[in-house]
Chain A
């Protein structure tokens, strides 16, 4: 079975631009979470979606938004990019939002903002 997949693998953007990151969960998983991992730090929770509804939001500005589609895939959007948004963006899936402790991560998208 395929694990969590993310695209693109890497991308480079300029300050002020917008970016869209994509995630496909493990087959049968209905919950998708997004995390930001800055170099040298642990992942930080951004959003969780379950059955297309937002179930949780971390302490991130409104420039960050996300949505989940009927096939349970998800997009993370970041507007007005800042240098500090450079990070590895991780997507994780689980069977239910209440079992966040059993999340499986994708390989991540490495975003560099110049």
Chain B
């Protein structure tokens, strides 16, 4: 079993839809949870990170962490064609530099 599991998709939605992206993990030491967006042939771009459990909102993006279920989510409201990319979840223990990534979910938002 991988430490971080992420459905690779692909996921296709119409413009304006609410998108839900998810990851599960097995290592209870993870304390920081990140979401990155990666466009084709580019490096990952940090969208947001959360510490421990809870929600965090940034514009159209909301990140949720449920440590009891070892489950994290990223919601995208009012999705736009420019949101079409691969979304990677990542996580690391406290004060530790070894980040573990999911495989990434490829999202397409159709006009």
Total interface residues in chain A, CB < 8 Å:
27
Residues 75-104 of A, flagged 1 when their CB comes within 8 A of B and 0 if not, give: 000000000000000101000011011111
Known: A90-B44, A104-B46. A42 touches B88 (CB 8 A): yes
Between A and B, how many residue pairs show CB distances below 8 Å?
Answer: 68
User: What distance in Å separates the Cβ of B4 from its nearest Cβ neighbour in chain A?
Assistant: 8
Q: Is the CB–CB distance between A107 and B97 below 8 Å?
A: no
CA distance A103 to B41 in the complex (A): 19
Known: A45-B98, A90-B43. A101 touches B32 (CB 8 A): yes
Q: Is the CB–CB distance between B42 and A41 below 8 Å?
A: no
With CB as the reference atom, state the residue of chain B lying closest to A97.
Answer: B97
Chain B contact residues (Cβ within 8 angstroms of A): what range? 20 to 34
With CB as the reference atom, state the residue of chain A lying closest to B93.
Answer: A100
User: With an 8 A cutoff between CB atoms, is A16 at the interface?
Assistant: no
Known: A40-B8, A42-B104. A100 touches B46 (CB 8 A): no
With CB as the reference atom, state the residue of chain A lying closest to B104.
Answer: A42
Give which listed residue, A44, A45, A103, A106, contacts B46 with CB less than 8 A: A103
Q: Is the CB–CB distance between B96 and A4 below 8 Å?
A: no
Give which listed residue, A4, A44, A97, A98, contacts B43 with CB less than 8 A: A4
The 7 A-B pairs with the shortest beta carbon distances in the complex, nearest first, are A42-B101, A105-B43, A101-B32, A100-B97, A56-B97, A48-B97, A105-B44
